[in-house]
């Protein structure tokens, strides 16, 4: 199954979690990579992204896509799905 098919089969959180696992990086490493790119977030928030309790937005989401090597049409589709979900659920800064 290719990356686009995986995105179609999973929720956005499941998809980003799977990408992290496929790349063999820990959540702590995701945090380090975000920090290297100027995005500071807590370990708790990163955990919430991967468990689906929260979803990243704005610059955090853009940089997370870079860290997880999510590009092109798959990135566009993931961003669209997250935007739709965030429109359905009100919440604080993510």
Query: Would you say residue 94 has pLDDT above 70?
Result: no
Angle between helices 58-67 and 27-36 (to 10 degrees): 110
pLDDT tens-digit readout, 61-92: 999 999 999 999 999 999 999 988 877 655 54
Q: Is residue 93 situated within a structural domain? A: no
Asked if 26 and 32 count as a contact pair (C-beta separation under 8 A), the reply is no
The CATH number that applies at residue 50 is 1.10.260.40
Whether 29 is in a domain gets the answer: yes
Question: CA 13: distance to chain centroid?
Answer: 6
Task: Give the predicted TM-score (pTM) of the model.
Answer: 0.86
Distance, in Å, from the CA atom of 91 to the CA atom of 24, rounded to the nearest integer, reads 30
**Domains of the chain: total:** 1
Indicate whether 27 belongs to any domain: yes
pLDDT in tens, 45-56: 999 999 999 999
Report if residue 3 sits inside a domain: no
Summarised one tens digit per residue, pLDDT across range 6-28 is: 888 999 999 999 999 999 999 99
């Amino acid at each position: 199954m290719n990356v686009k098919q995986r995105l179609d089969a999973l929720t956005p959180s499941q998809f980003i979690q799977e990408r992290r696992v496929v790349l063999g990086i820990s959540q702590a490493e995701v945090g380090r990579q975000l920090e290297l790119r100027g995005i500071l977030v807590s370990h708790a928030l990163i955990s919430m992204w991967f468990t689906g309790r929260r979803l990243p937005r704005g610059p955090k989401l853009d940089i997370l896509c870079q860290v997880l090597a999510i590009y092109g049409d798959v990135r566009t589709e993931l961003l669209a799905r997250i935007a739709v979900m965030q429109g359905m659920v009100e919440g604080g800064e993510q």
